[in-house]
Amino acid sequence: MAGTPGTPGTPRVLRAMNDRAALDLLLEHGTLSRTRIGKLTGLSKPTASQLLARLEAAGLVLATGTTAGRPGPNAQLYSVNPAAAHVAGLDVTTERIRAAVADITGRTVGSFRLPTPHHRAGSAVEQVVQALDGAVKAAGLSRSDLHRGVIGTPGAFDPSTGRLRYASHLPGWHSPALLDELAAALPMPLEYDNDVNLAAVAEQRIGAARGHDDFVLLWNEEGIGAALMIGGRLHRGWTGGAGEVGFLPVPGTPLVRNVTRTNNGGFQELAGCNAVLRHARELGLDIPDAPLPDAAAMVLGKAAAAHDASGQGGTGPSAELLARCATGMAVGLASVVAVLDPELIVLAGDVAVAGGEPLRALIQSELAELAVPRPRLVLGTVEMHPVLSGALESALATTRDEVFDTSR
């Protein structure tokens, strides 16, 4: 009914829309004057003044100085109040849990890394709490100060059962009661997502996919995976398994007939870190003494550097390594592209990114011969902890919607 508080078109809703527009502008620009906010939103000076007074009273913005030193009269500057809310992100692997806390502006204010080797005692819940508490302490906060948390793991939690699937290698995370135990241990809303999905969120919000609603992120690190962004939303699939392309049957590798058991084959066998090192050995290249994904990234990095140094890439072992890896990655991508026809493909993960522009260009060329759709390929640009960055960005998006809603 028209005139009911909170219905579209009412003064309350219009004020809330203006409030959110101003807050988003302040997040984008850092600080703005009343006059500048008015110009950017199209609001009159009196309306902009009322808006800022309302947001300041609500604790959402702060007066942060003046334009002293600039031409013209001094003007009060405003910014989003960083303490309006805090969120947490966690990135879980078999070897460690990395946790971070960010304020509402997105600035990381505390972080912590908890090693979790296979022999380490303690449950998954205890480890999550310990990692989170470490980040909270580093931020000078307490758990109760957190508005929301997002946890990224390999695999995905099946929404119908609440159990982690597609990640049998992650010890201690397969209890049917795990999500209930985490909810009981932590006093905040918790969300869970696949690690590669969160890397895609980071690239969309702050990285190479900004402004793109339809793209695929191909992740190549310890394992191969993909994230599918369709119409601006992640496509997770019925059981959360969309993008588990490491199991994808491809020419030249054995079929993986029982994916719940440890075995070889599929796209992972063709283009993963083991394949990189296998090609390097066959070509007589030196293999660094390092863990698998790190060693593969180092080998590809050296090959890319040799390509750049030679100008045209040459025909030696380094050039052949890049060519083989590009073909392997393009073969798997051809199936993905044939089904999804994305606007953009983002190459991410240490192994893919280590090959740099030489590897990207070769994959683009190979893919053009293998698939009818020809999406543009780019390298991911979120270099520091992309999964953790995506967890924080995901938590911030939901939290801002809640905290910045002044219509209630």
> What pLDDT does residue 3 have?
46
Q: Please classify residue 27 by burial: count the beta carbons closer than 10 Å to its beta carbon, then call 0-12 exposed, 13-18 middle and 19+ buried.
A: middle
Domain boundaries, the chain: 11-80, 84-199+387-403, 210-381
Can you tell me which residue has the tokens 């040799």? 306
Are 84-199+387-403 and 210-381 the same fold in CATH? yes
- Mean predicted lDDT score pLDDT of the chain: 91
Confidence of residue 405 (pLDDT cuts 50, 70, 90): very high
* Fold that domain 11-80 belongs to in CATH: Arc Repressor Mutant, subunit A (1.10.10)
Note the pTM of the prediction, 2 decimals: 0.92
Averaged pLDDT for residues 13-39: 95
What single-letter amino acid sits at 158? D
- Residue 201, pLDDT > 70, answer yes
Cβ burial 381-393 (10 Å sphere, 16+ → b, else e): bbeebbbbbbbbb
Domain boundaries 210-381, corresponding CATH code: 3.30.420.40
Q: What CATH fold (topology level) applies to the domain 84-199+387-403?
A: Nucleotidyltransferase; domain 5 (3.30.420)
pLDDT in tens, 334-352: 999 999 999 999 999 999 9
Q: Give the whole-number percent of the chain exceeding pLDDT 70.
A: 93
pLDDT bracket for residue 1 (50, 70, 90): very low
- Which helix (DSSP H) or strand (DSSP E) does residue 183 occupy? helix 178-185
Question: What confidence tens digit (pLDDT) does each residue in 59-82 have?
Answer: 999 999 887 655 556 789 999 999
Assigned token pair, 357: 């522009």
Least confident of 33-42, 120-129, 392-401: 120-129
